[in-house]
Chains A and B, each alone.
Chain A
Amino acid sequence: MSVVIPYVSKPHPVTGVTNAKLGIWLFLASEVMLFGALFSSLIVLRVGSTDWPVGSTILNVPLAFVNTIILITSSLTMVMAWASLKLNNLGKYKMYMGLTILLSFAFLVVKYFEYSAKIHHGLSPATSNFLGIYFTMTGLHGLHIIGGIVVNAYLWIPGAKMWHSDPERFTGRVEVAGLYWHFVDLVWIFLFPTLYLL
């Protein structure tokens, strides 16, 4: 096959970005609309309700705080992974990427304990619209975390082969995965105060 797609590893001279980077920004714009619609729904449901609870009376704020720290740290290690590639250090990349994946799993484990404690106390999505929107939004966010883990795990071991054939393109891929990861992190930073604290 002789098809050659330009600007896969090098940025377009005019737009200054690679195809993948422009693509991920567009994808994130669409994600903003997805979560934006859910946050809007939360507002509509809340202002229409007479007995909307304060999140901290039902949800576990310390656990969520720990999870916030975990996610922010994972964003940091994600940047370090990308920076290690920029510094030509594949070994450090693997370490930081491994840490990122580990922290993502830690987030999910904490989330699992939160969920099971709720269900154990007989609190399910059907209990109230507050719990309904809590489970829906954190659940959808959890799915995004899982998606991130899949992508990062691929870039960690099997996808890293590309480092030897096209290091520029591989670094670009890690950067794009990082942009997604920061977005998922950012969504949580909005979810935490909105659901747990307000």
Chain B
Amino acid sequence: MSSAHGEIHAHGDGHAHEEGFWRKYIFSTDHKVIGIQYGLAAMAFLLLGFGLMLLMRWQIAFPGIQIPLIGKALTQDGVLSPELYNQFGAMHGTIMVFLGVVPMAVGAFGNYMLPLQIGAQDMAFPKLNMASFWVNFVGGLIMLGSFLMPGGAPQSGWTSYPPLANIAPPSQTAWLIGMVFLITSSLLGSVNFIVTAIQLRAPGLSFFRLPFFVWTQLVTAFLLLLAFPPLEAAGVLQLMDRVAGTSFFMPSGLVVSGEILSNAGGGNPLLWQHLFWFLAHPEVYVLILPAMGIVGEIIVTNTRKPMYGYNTAVYAIIFLGFMSFIVWAHHMFMTGMGTAISSFFQATTMIISIPSVIILTIFLLTLWGASIRYTVPMLFALAFLPMFAIGGLTGLPLGLTASDIYLHDTYYVIGHFHYVVSPGTLLALMGGFYHWFPKITGKMFNQTLGKLHFWGTFIGMNGIFGPMLLVGMAGVSRRLYDASIYQAAKSVQPLNVVMTYSSWFLAAAQILFLVNLFISLRKPKTPAAENPWESTTLEWTAPTPPLPHQNFPVPPHVYRGPYEYNTTSREFAPQALQEV
């Protein structure tokens, strides 16, 4: 094997394309610009969603006490009102899932990296790609605008269960319309991703030479493509209920505020739950699969070993994607749908944990006997493993009907899925940010700040979600504005204080991240950013940053699998390297 720096990429001639500011940065069709647009928008939404939660956490830990500094700006007495609490709760979920994590994992990382990793010049449909971002953006604006509507923002939870959502203030209609925009955006994106990954692979890049990240994005795109439309259908039905007075989700004789509603009735509120969770369970895998892809890339690069059982990992995520369509009703064990149906979904839920365990085991076995480099992205990737394991294992009692009866709708559920999405997915996304930042910008970030950011985030997240599992096991309901009025919740109230302080600690750690980002962006470009992790996949053979619009000066040709590393020497074989 020969060391591969500089041999395989002829440097771009750097000829400037004559594009105006608007074409170049705003309405660009370049997948890299669109990826960065997605990334910036998603980062803003993640911070906003986190901010809403900081305010809610204050109320949970210190019920009825004025919020410091900004309380007076929110309400007259400076205390978070129950109405605002409900609005923030619904919007925290909506923003984090649909406008934060998915646009970051798929829109930003997928858009930027997928064409590069398969050696393509751009996505298959560049204009659709641009449309996808802007439709998403409009959806985001509608969601934000709903805060200003009479009656306040949507407040029926991110799940928008009817009949509550049917009789909610007008902003619920805005929520539904906003969702239609977000679904349209994801439809455009997922078609684009699949076509790109299938049609535009570089010569020699067969399916089983694809980097693991591309596989995860491909399966994710299929989930988005096929799982979102039923939610769109449900959204249309709820919109009809709210606007045209139909009763799809309204049972007969519903009493609201002491009066029987005059609608025709005969509808089925559970129908919404089925349609919603038919999306929202695959959505969980939309949140976690790209994270697994990123972690796979980082771990393999920093262990200097090929991925242990790459083919098995690929089959595992395909199976995972398939299974994710038939587990949805494990969110609905308490709805009284019957033991036969519950048993079916309990069984499929146990089965779907198997591919996740396979993937986690593959990552662990990749670490075995490796010469591990503890770089900043590697810290995040390593932390992902136990965090995702906790998230997965705490899910088992929820997937079994008997134990779910006790844990359902308590803080345990919140702790469980946040362990998957927050210390799981978000840690992976942060790791991915550090992993690819040098290639995207041509600059290196500050390692010390990066490590501090890691430890702050890791400790902060565990400080929030660890105690949350305990609070849930004590039986505290997840929807209470002030749980401390209940005797059972009093004993665990000190844990809520710990969680709230941890959330501030987590916020402080994110300030380190933002500081690092701005300092690094102001630094001059360095050749050290060309391939700092000595990685083999195609994106590292592109110029730094990759050329606008065409990525590679010469279209690459692939000669080998994705991860040809060597634990005993520093040599490695990039995919585009021809001779050994």
A138 within 8 A of B: no
Whether A129 contacts B246 in the complex (CB less than 8 A), given A1-B549, A7-B199, A30-B187, comes out as yes
B124 and A23: CB pair below 8 A?
Answer: yes
How many contacts between A and B, using CB within 8 angstroms?
134
Query: Chain A at the B interface: mostly helix, strand, loop or mixed?
Result: helix
B338 to chain A, nearest CB (A): 14
* Contact present for B121 and A5 (CB under 8 Å): yes
Asked if A126 contacts B228 (CB within 8 A), the reply is no
Q: Interface stretch among B142-150, B151-159, B234-242, B466-474?
A: B234-242
CB neighbours (8 Å) of A150 from chain B are none
Whether B237 contacts A33 by the Cβ 8 Å rule is: no
Find out whether the CB atom of A27 lies under 8 angstroms from the CB atom of B187.
yes
Contact A2 B233 (CB under 8 A): no
Q: Which of chain A's residues has its CB closest to B243's CB? A: A125
Known: A126-B263, A129-B246. A19 touches B229 (CB 8 A): no
Interface residues of B in 29-62 (CB under 8 A from A): none
Sort chain B's interface into a size bin.
35 or more
Q: Does A117 contact B (CB under 8 A)?
A: no
- Chain A count of residues within 8 A CB distance of the other chain: 40
* Contact indicator B230/A19 (Cβ below 8 Å): no
Residue interface bits B181-200, CB-to-A below 8 A is 1, else 0: 00000010011101100111
Q: Give, as a whole number of angstroms, the nearest-CB distance from B269 to chain A.
A: 11
B191 touches A23 (CB 8 A): yes
A29 within 8 A of B: yes
Interface hit among A43-51, A81-89, A181-189: A43-51
Is the Cβ of A3 less than 8 Å from the Cβ of B268?
Answer: no
Q: Are A5 and B122 in contact (CB under 8 A)?
A: yes
A12, B199: Cβ atoms under 8 Å?
yes
Question: A41 contacts B275, CB within 8 Å?
Answer: yes
- What 1/0 mask marks residues of chain B from 108 to 144 whose CB sits below 8 Å from any chain A CB? 0000000000000110111000000000000000000
What chain B residues lie within 8 Å of A133 (beta carbons)? Answer: 246, 248
CB-defined contacts of A34 to chain B, threshold 8 Å: 229-230, 232-233
Using known A-B contacts A5-B200, A45-B271, A49-B266, determine if residue A29 contacts B225 with beta carbons closer than 8 Å: yes
Q: Which of A1, A26, A129, A132 contacts B225 (CB 8 A)?
A: A26
Does B519 belong to the interface (CB within 8 Å)? Answer: no
The digit string for B537-580, where 1 denotes a CB below 8 A from any CB of A, is: 00000000000011000000000000000000000000000000
Interface residues of A in 33-88 (CB under 8 A from B): 33-38, 41, 44-45, 48-49, 51
CA distance A129 to B237 in the complex (A): 11
Which chain A residues lie closer than 8 Å to B17 at the CB level? 1-2
Tell me which residues across on chain A come within 8 A of B194, comparing CB atoms.
22, 26
Chain A neighbourhood of B228, CB < 8 A: 30
Q: Contacts A45-B248, A45-B271, A140-B236 given: A129-B126 contact, CB under 8 Å?
A: no
Question: A7-B199, A23-B125, A37-B275 are known contacts. Are A136 and B236 too (CB-CB below 8 A)?
Answer: yes
Q: A124 contacts B245, CB within 8 Å? A: yes
- Chain A residues, Cβ within 8 Å of B247: 126, 129, 132
**Nearest Cβ in chain A — how far from B106, in angstroms?**
15
Which residue from chain B places its CB closest to the CB of A35 in the assembled complex? B233
Residues in chain A near residue B234, CB distance under 8 A: 37, 41
Give chain B nearest CB distance to A177 CB in angstroms.
15
The interface residues of chain B lying within 8 Å CB-to-CB of A44 are 268, 271, 274
Known: A45-B267, A132-B240. A23 touches B195 (CB 8 A): yes
In the bound complex, residues from chain B placing their C-beta under 8 Å from that of A6 are 199-200
Q: Which residues of B lie under 8 Å from residue A22 when comparing CB positions?
A: 194-195, 198-199
Closest partner residue, chain B, to A26 (CB atom): B191
CB atoms of A136 and B246 under 8 A apart: yes
Inter-chain CA distance A180–B312, complex, in Å, is: 37
* B244, CB-defined interface residue at 8 Å: yes
* Bound: A16/B285 CA distance, A: 31
- Flag whether B488 is at the interface (Cβ < 8 A): no
A135/B244 in contact, CB under 8 A: yes
Docked-complex contact B229 and A30, CB < 8 angstroms: yes
* Chain A contacts for B267, CB-based, 8 A: 45, 129
Q: Does A4 contact B (CB under 8 A)?
A: yes
B residues in contact with A37, CB < 8 Å: 229-230, 232-234, 275, 278
B8 CB–A CB distance under 8 Å: no
Q: In the docked arrangement, what's the CA distance between A128 and B246, Å?
A: 7
CB distance from A13 to the nearest CB of B (A): 11
B480 at the interface (CB under 8 A from A): no
Quick check: is A165 within 8 A (CB to CB) of the other chain?
Answer: no
- Quote the shortest CB–CB distance from B546 to chain A (angstroms): 12
- Beta-carbon nearest neighbor of B234 in chain A: A37
Is the CB of A31 closer than 8 A to any CB of chain B? yes
Within 8 A of B (CB), among A101-134: 124-129, 132-133
**Counting CB contacts under 8 A, is B350 at the interface?**
no
- A1 surroundings in chain B (CB, below 8 A): 17, 19, 549
Closest to A48 in B: B268
| B226 in contact (CB, < 8 A) | yes
Q: Contact check, B230 vs A33: say whether CB atoms are below 8 A apart.
A: yes
Q: Is the CB of B264 within 8 A of A126?
A: yes
CA distance A51 to B17 in the complex (A): 67
CB-contact partner of A26 in B126, B195, B248, B266, under 8 A: B195
Q: How far is the CB of B34 from chain A (nearest CB, A)?
A: 13
Which residues of chain B are near A36, meaning CB under 8 Å? 229-230
Shortest CB-to-CB span from A33 to chain B, Å, is 4
Q: List 17 A-B contacts (CB under 8 A).
A: A1-B17, A22-B195, A23-B191, A29-B225, A31-B229, A36-B229, A37-B275, A37-B278, A38-B236, A38-B237, A44-B271, A45-B267, A129-B246, A129-B266, A133-B248, A136-B236, A140-B236
Task: Report the 5 A-B pairs with minimum CB-CB distance, sorted nearest first.
Answer: A126-B245, A132-B246, A37-B233, A37-B230, A34-B229
